[in-house]
Amino acid sequence: MADNVVLQVEGLCFFYPESGVLNQWSVALPAGLALVRGDESSGKTTLLRLLAGKLTAQAGCITLQGVSLSDAPTAYAQKVFWVDPRSDDLDKLTARAWLDGLPASCPLWDAAALAAHTEGFSLNEHLDKPLYALSTGSKRKVLMAGALASGAPLTLIDEPVAGLDKPSFQYLARALTSVAAQPGRLVVVAHYEKLAGVPWGTVVDLART
């Protein structure tokens, strides 16, 4: 793996019983911001779940900072942050309880960054509410605050702007710009198009299959 490559994917194959998604798919991503772009059903979320180790590919290799997902899944998982925003698994937790529990599983957790993101996303009034009681936008802001503060070498964010108001969108652009400068860290965002004001280092287009 080249020195500047954080994530190496080689020959990735994944298909559902009803359709294929990825066929011999490969990419090498350096530190910074990467956008996975595609239409509905192009496989954006599936790819993020594969990179997170939550789905198992039929073939191919995923290596993060020299750690192979297939050979060392536990070590790999310690380097990744992923929460599916569509899942209701966390809904009974308050935002504060979920965020307070993250440092235990995030070796590079940044408490100062969390404080900044909480303020930037205007989340203080929502911290003691259960996630199920939050709007779509507020829940995603909580999840993104945790993701951005995690410090994880591979941070995966799916459809970040769903339900976001304009000030939160503007803050997200600033926060992603800041994260892009962190050495050795790769943030992969899945969305339909480029987000204005974000310095994307890499754009990966997925074609619908």
In this predicted model, what pLDDT tens digit does every residue of 29-56 receive, in sequence order? 999 999 999 887 778 999 999 999 999 9
What's the CATH code of the domain at 156? Answer: 3.40.50.300
Residue 3, pLDDT score? 59
Residue 208, pLDDT score? 54
Residues linked to residue 32 through DSSP beta bridges, in sequence order: 186
CA-based Rg of the chain, rounded to a whole angstrom?
A: 16
Which residue has tokens 């976001």? Answer: 164
Range of the domain at 178: 5-205
Residue 27, pLDDT score? 96
Residues linked to residue 27 through DSSP beta bridges, in sequence order: 9
10-residue block means of pLDDT along the chain (209 residues)?
82 86 92 91 90 96 97 96 93 97 96 97 97 95 97 96 92 94 94 89 81
The H or E element that residue 120 is part of is helix 111-120
Number of domains present in the structure of the chain: 1
Q: Name 103's Cβ contacts closer than 8 Å, sequence gap at least 6.
A: 109, 111
How far is it, in rounded angstroms, from Cα 50 to Cα 196?
27
Residue 4, pLDDT score? 84
Q: Name 39's Cβ contacts closer than 8 Å, sequence gap at least 6.
A: 192, 208
